[in-house]
Structure 1
Amino acid sequence: MKPFLEKALIRNSSKTYLRTNEFLGIVTIISVLSIALETVSSLTEYQTLFTIIEYVAVAIFTIEFIARLYAKDEKKEYLLSFYGILDIVSIVPTYFGVANLTFLKTARISRLLKFLKLSRVAKLSRISKYANKNSKKVQEVRVISMEIYLIALAIAVMIFASLLYLFEGERNVLFADIPSAVLWVTTVLLGSGVNHADFSTITKLLVVGLQFTSLLLFGLLIAIVGNMVERRLLGSSSVD
C-alpha cells in the first residue's frame, strides 16, 4: 500500500501522481466555488447541496491527508510544513462543526493555495517529461507558465475577495458576498481607482496589498509574454 501511495502522492514523475493531482484539483475548485456561492443570500435554497459538497470534499481531503502522512518518511516535517498546516486548516473547521462561523467558513478558501501547489508541481512534472522531446512538444511546454500565471491570478482574486468579504461584508454592500467581492477585486486589478474613505483600517491595508499584488502580477505577465514572443521571433527551442 505504501509504495502505491508514494507513487500517487509523492513521486511527481509518475502518471498516477498527475492523475491524483488533477482529481484533487477538480475537487478543490468545486469546493471553493461552493463556499463562495453559499455566501450569496439569494442561493440559500441550495444550502443542502452546498453542505453535501462540503462534506464530500472534506472526506476526500481527509483521506488525502492521512494517506500523505502515512506515505511520508518524515511525518513531523510534513505536519509542520506550510502545506501540511494548509492541509489541516482546509478540513478542521468542518470537523469542529463550526463551518457556519464566518471566519472559519472563509478560512476554507485557503484550499486555493493547495490547488496552486498541485498546479505548480504538475507544471514541473510536464516540463521534465517534455524537455527532451521534439520541438512540437517543447512548444507545448511554453504555454505552461501562462497557465500557472492565470491560475495564480484567479487564486489572488479569490483570496482577496474572501478577506474583503470577511472584514467588510457586514458593513459594505460592495462585499456583501464573495462573488460581489470578486467583481470588485477584478476591477481594481484592471486599474480602477479606489476610494478608501469608507473602509476600515484593516480593509485599507488589504486594498493596498491588492494594489501591490496587481503590480506584481502585471510585471509577471509582461515577463511571460515577452519571453514567449522572444522565443517565437528567435526560433529558440530550449526549455527553461
Structure 2
Amino acid sequence: MPDKTASLAEDDRPVLIILHQETSTPGRAGQMLLEKGYRLDIRRPVLGEPLPDTLQNHAGAIIFGGPMSANDPEPYVKAEIDWISVPLSENRPFLGICLGAQMLVKNLGGKVEGHAEGLTEIGWYPIEATEEGKGLIEWPSMVYHFHREGFDLPAGARLLARGDTYENQAIRYGDNAWGIQFHGELTRAMMHRWVVRGAHRFELPNAQTGDRHLEGRMLHDAPLRNWMSEMLDLVFRRPASAG
C-alpha cells in the first residue's frame, strides 16, 4: 500500500493534464492533486496546444478520457499516442484514464476494439483486483464506466484488475505507467452532465439507464473516491532514488 504519510508536495513540478474537449476538466483527480500540493499544467492537443518534448519539468502526466476513439485517424490522436513514448522512455509517472489507457495500449503495440458481441460498459460494473493489484492498493468492487471499446494486454504489461464484459480494467507497464478503463475522477456535476449529454447511448447493448448511473453513485462512489486518491499517491510517488 502507498505511504499515506508521505508528502507529494516534495516535488514542486506540475502534473501535465491532457484533456480532449474545450469544456473538459480533470474533475476530482485535479482537485485531489491540488490538495496534495501539486500544480496543474492543463493542455488540450485537440485545440492545437503542444505537448512537451520532455517530462523532466513535470511531476508526471495524466491523459484523460474523451468521446473520440484511440483508433480515430485524426492527426492529433496519433500524435498523442506517439507522445506517450516520452514518459515511457524517461520512466516518468504516467496515468491513462479510459481513452488515455487505450492510447497507452496502442503505443505499446496492443489493440483497442469493441466487444465481440457489441456490448458496452456505460454505468456501474464490478471489477476484481488481481493478486498483483491487491498488493498495491485497495480496490473498489464497483466502478463507473462510459465506453464502447476496450483494450487487450500488450506484451510486458501486467493486469491489475479485471471485469466481466471487458476483462482488462487496469494495467501497469514498467514501474511508472498505469492505465485504467474506468472513471474515478468524476464529480457529481460531471456525472450529471454525462448522463444528460450521453443519454442517447443508454440504449446500447449492456448500457444502464441514467437513473442507475445516479443511484449507483450514492451506493458505490465513496470507495471509488478513496481509490482515486490512493491511486494518485501510487502513480505520483516520489522515487526513492530521486534527489
**Fold shared, TM-score > 0.5 on shorter chain:** no
Which structure would you say has the larger Rg? 1
User: Of Structure 1 and Structure 2, which has the larger fraction of its residues in helix?
Assistant: 1
User: How high is the TM-score relative to the length of structure 2?
Assistant: 0.28
User: How high is the TM-score relative to the length of structure 1?
Assistant: 0.28
Which structure would you say has the larger RCO, counting Cα contacts within 8 Å and 6 or more residues apart?
2
